[in-house]
Structure 1
Amino acid sequence: MTVKTTLSFTDRHHRFLTDKVGQGVFASQSAAVAAALEQMIRDEEERELTLGAMADEIRARLDTPRADYVPGENAFATARARLQAAREA
């Protein structure tokens, strides 16, 4: 379903929309706005998924027994060794 609405834009935004339509990037200003909204929806969905995954990882790590912790000095030992090797090369 399509809903007709009225939107107001700054001169800058209007000029940008008009230029993109004139360049053939979008069929109309409405199409450009719809594309921008679709991108915002995708960005929000990705953000929600990312935050959910981060929260799950944090919960999993909170459930890790202390005996399974990696000492801080060992946590990045491999990365430090690779960096040192790269510097010496």
Structure 2
Amino acid sequence: MTVKTTLSFTDRHHRFLAEKVGQGAFATQSAAVAAALEQMMQDEQERDVALSALAEEIRSRMATPRTAFIDQDDAFGAALAAVGAARRV
């Protein structure tokens, strides 16, 4: 279903839309706005997925008992040794 609406743009935005239509990137200014909205919707969905995954990882790590923690020297020892060796070269 298509809904007609009225939108207002700054001169800068209007020129940009007109240029994109003139270059053939979009058939109409409405198509360009619709594409921008679709991109915003996709970005929001991807952000929601990423935030959910991050929240789940935080919950998982918070449930990890302290006895299962890894010492920072064990976690980063190899990387620090490699950096130190590279600096000596």
Partner of residue 65, structure 1: 65
Rounded Cα–Cα distance in structure 1 between residues aligned with 2:86 and 2:22: 50
Task: State the 1:73 CA deviation.
Answer: 2.7
Distance 2:34 2:51 in 1: 26
- Deviation (angstroms), 1:77: 1.6
1:17 positional shift: 0.3
After TM superposition, give the deviation of residue 22 of structure 1 in Å: 0.3
Match of 2:14 in 1: 14
Unaligned runs of 5+ in 2: none
**Match runs of 1:1-89 below 5 Å:** 1-89=1-89
Deviations 1:19-69 (A, max 9, x none): 000000111100100010000001000100000000000000001011110
Number of positions where the alignment pairs a residue of Structure 1 with one of Structure 2: 89
What TM-score comes out, normalization by structure 1 length? 0.91
Letter in 2 for 1:25: A
TM-score (norm 2): 0.91
Q: Match of 1:76, SS? A: helix
The one-letter code matched in structure 2 to 1:44 is E
